[in-house]
Amino acid sequence: MLALDIENLDVTFPGLSSPALAIGRLSIDAGSRVAITGASGSGKSTFVNIVTGLERTRQGRIRWNGEDIAGFSESRRDRFRAANIGLVMQEFHLFPGLSALENVLLPARLAGAATADIIERAHALLSTVGLSRSGQKIETMSRGEMQRVAIARALLRKPGVIIADEPTASLDAESGEAVGDLILDLAIAEGSTLIVVSHDQRLASRLDRRITFGAGRIKEDSATTAGEAA
């Protein structure tokens, strides 16, 4: 399980008069489950990109269990992410022509980490996410099934944190609900910290803590706000 500590983060982009994201201090406990919400353009994707190390910040500290990834090179950030962060995005980033199983295993294969144990875990995870045909080609699957494959892939290396960016936004209501529940149930079962960016109020309400961004800042945090609005 990973804990996150952010200090003095300030992310600016050319052409923007104010920071896309400015966080003085934010701590997320190991094993906690947090929803990030906020209007379009409030900085949610920037937050995901920074805490996963997909983007670099020059200003601030991003500590995962005390390790500041802001000081890492790009290749070290990539290695850290592969080993520690299970990422689930709105678009699934799966590879057509490959089966469900091959998609789950691809990052591990590329990292030279597809051991017999990992292959066994890939089969088990596909079954846990409710997919019985591991050899089915990805392009023949429904969108809900594709997201389940992406979830199995994200969990393969037992990440200390699962970070999901609008995981249900491109799904219909029914499969979105099922996928949201699945991510939460798996995070609990695996003992992973969970951070979910979502407009889905039902999913957000099932998590321990809700943080709302507004104009690149933390506008509300249920961990610190007394008498939080329902």
Ligand X SMILES: Nc1ncnc2c1ncn2[C@@H]1O[C@H](COP(=O)(O)OP(=O)(O)OP(=O)(O)O)[C@@H](O)[C@H]1O
Q: Which residues bind ligand X (CB under 6 A)?
A: 13, 16, 20, 38, 40-46
Residue number, 16 or 188, with CB nearest to ligand X: 16
Distance CA 174, CA 139 (A): 21
Nearest distance, CB of residue 46 and ligand X, angstroms? 3
Nearest distance, CB of residue 36 and ligand X, angstroms? 9
CB atoms within 10 A of CB 84: 20
* Residues 167, 196 contacting (CB under 8 angstroms): yes
Residue number, 17 or 75, with CB nearest to ligand X: 17
Nearest distance, CB of residue 26 and ligand X, angstroms? 15
Place of tokens 């695996």: 190
Residue number, 79 or 219, with CB nearest to ligand X: 219
- How does DSSP classify residue 41? T
* Residues 182, 214 contacting (CB under 8 angstroms): no
Dihedral of the alpha carbons of 46, 50, 55, 57, in degrees to the nearest 10: 110
Nearest distance, CB of residue 227 and ligand X, angstroms? 26
Nearest distance, CB of residue 47 and ligand X, angstroms? 7
Residue number, 107 or 214, with CB nearest to ligand X: 214
Residue number, 123 or 199, with CB nearest to ligand X: 199
3-state secondary structure of 145: helix
CA distances to 35, 110, 148 from 171, rounded to whole Å, are: 18, 29, 11
